Chains A and B, each alone.
Chain A
Amino acid sequence: MGGKEEMKPYRRPVPNTWWLMRRSYFLFIVRELASVFVAAYSVFLLLVIYKLGQGPEAYEGMIELLRSPALIVFHLVVLAFAVYHSITWFNLTPKILVLFVGEVRVPPLLIAGAHYFAWLVLSALVAWVILRA
């Protein structure tokens, strides 16, 4: 029988649409894509701070711009992606953080729960800082 040099293994091409072929792949790509929106918002936030540094008038103009429908839509879209990104990652934390207290494993639900709790506390803190004025 023939040796390796006589074999002609067939390599199947990976289509560019591979991520549409399974639901889990699609959800994964959305999770990855969400980080682009989160990054875009960080840039936007830096821009707002930059305007603040240019004095009251520039900042007022920025605030006025923030009221435009386009920017409100932008905020809603980014919020949706940021929430999706956070939830999907928080749900994965028990796989990443496997902790033991003595010989007993910390329950996975507690690990994820701690993240949600921290998220809640930080969000409440931010809300308090913004809304107390």
Chain B
Amino acid sequence: MEKTMKLEIFRYRPDQEDQPRFQTYEVPFREDWVVLDAINYIKDEIDGTLSYRWSCRMGVCGSCGMMVNGIPKLTCATFLKDYYPDKIRVEPLTGFPVQRDLVIVMDDFIHKLREIKPWIIRREGEEKPIEGGEYLQTPAELEQYKQYSMCINCMLCYAACPVYALDNTFVGPAAIALAQRYNMDSRDQGRDQRQEIIASHEGIWECTFVGECSVVCPKAVDPAGAIQRSKVSSTIDWYKEVLIPWGGKKR
């Protein structure tokens, strides 16, 4: 007899029902299958109406994030065998509105990502012309921010963050980690511009350091660490501004 496994999947079809419900599917169990394989099997063989996002199947694109038994996971990297023979419950990432089935509305995250200006900013007049070549950087300077640059925008950290779930105005872990990534880049001069968002009430100070964002991150970005370090430098800024007459203003 072929081994099988049950998946309990969150369904929400706004054109047919006002409330979500769970639907259970039975799929074949394979040693090398991940949760995403099982969901693809359902879509192809059992129920074509199931909606979800996925793309690369190798933990790079960041689109297949879902709650697996209540924990945010990339479903392409979550093996069935780690749950077998128990039932697996699959839900859309928490903290976000649900568009349909396992598809969340990610507009808020995309908006926040853009707000922190995740690109290299140069001061007026300090931008090199193209003929001037690239901005050089030592391996040690790269090491300062490299970890934060590994973010794939999968939003698992947002789904792990109770602060974001309770108050959507929070800028959130990935956006702050990415702001930190550019702030710590030796080629960047845009920290002051980003501080308007990062040091605001909705920014770093909203974070209570639950730390779960760093636990669920599939790329070991450590957004919680990034936020705390950002708090330290913002606090130093404040002391400089208040205590040292010449220390406050823009570098």
- A residues engaging B (CB < 8 A)? 7-12, 14, 18-19, 21-22, 24-25, 28, 32, 92, 95-98, 103
Contacts of A10 in B (CB 8 A): 12, 14, 19-20, 97-98
Q: Give the interface centre of B166, B210, B222, B232 by most chain A CB atoms within 10 Å.
A: B210
Given contacts A12-B94, A96-B228, is CB(A18)–CB(B211) below 8 Å? no
- Contact with B215, one of A11, A19, A24 (Cβ below 8 angstroms): A24
A22 vs B162: C-alpha distance when bound (angstroms): 11
Please give the distance in Å from A88's CB to the nearest CB on chain B.
10
- Say yes or no for B176: interface residue by CB 8 A criterion: no
Please give the distance in Å from A73's CB to the nearest CB on chain B.
29
Contacts of A28 in B (CB 8 A): 208-212
Q: Give the interface centre of A8, A14, A25 by most chain B CB atoms within 10 Å.
A: A8
Q: How large is the interface on B (under 10, 10 to 19, 20 to 34, 35 or more residues)?
A: 20 to 34
Contact with A along B205-236 (1 / 0, CB 8 A): 00011111011000000101100110110000
Beyond contacts A9-B14, A28-B212: 11 other A-B pairs, Cβ-Cβ < 8 A, are A8-B14, A10-B19, A10-B20, A12-B20, A24-B211, A24-B215, A92-B209, A95-B224, A95-B228, A96-B232, A98-B225
Given contacts A10-B12, A11-B97, A14-B165, is CB(A103)–CB(B140) below 8 Å? yes
Please give the distance in Å from B219's CB to the nearest CB on chain A.
17
**6 nearest CB pairs, A to B:** A9-B97, A8-B14, A95-B225, A96-B228, A10-B98, A103-B140
- Say yes or no for B40: interface residue by CB 8 A criterion: no
Given contacts A7-B14, A11-B97, A14-B165, is CB(A22)–CB(B212) below 8 Å? yes
- Nearest residue (CB) in A for B232 is A96
Please give the distance in Å from A6's CB to the nearest CB on chain B.
9
A12 vs B102: C-alpha distance when bound (angstroms): 13
- Nearest residue (CB) in B for A89 is B209
Contact with A along B126-170 (1 / 0, CB 8 A): 000000000000001000000000000000000000100110000
A21 vs B210: C-alpha distance when bound (angstroms): 14
A23 vs B76: C-alpha distance when bound (angstroms): 25
- Contact with B99, one of A7, A18, A19, A21 (Cβ below 8 angstroms): A7
Contacts of B19 in A (CB 8 A): 10
- Say yes or no for B105: interface residue by CB 8 A criterion: yes
- Say yes or no for B59: interface residue by CB 8 A criterion: no
Contact check, B70 vs A21: say whether CB atoms are below 8 A apart.
Answer: yes
Contact check, B165 vs A98: say whether CB atoms are below 8 A apart.
Answer: no
Given contacts A25-B210, A25-B212, is CB(A14)–CB(B229) below 8 Å? no
Contacts of A92 in B (CB 8 A): 209, 211, 228
A28 vs B94: C-alpha distance when bound (angstroms): 19
- Nearest residue (CB) in A for B94 is A12
Please give the distance in Å from B110's CB to the nearest CB on chain A.
14
Contact with A along B90-129 (1 / 0, CB 8 A): 0000100111000001000000000000000000000000
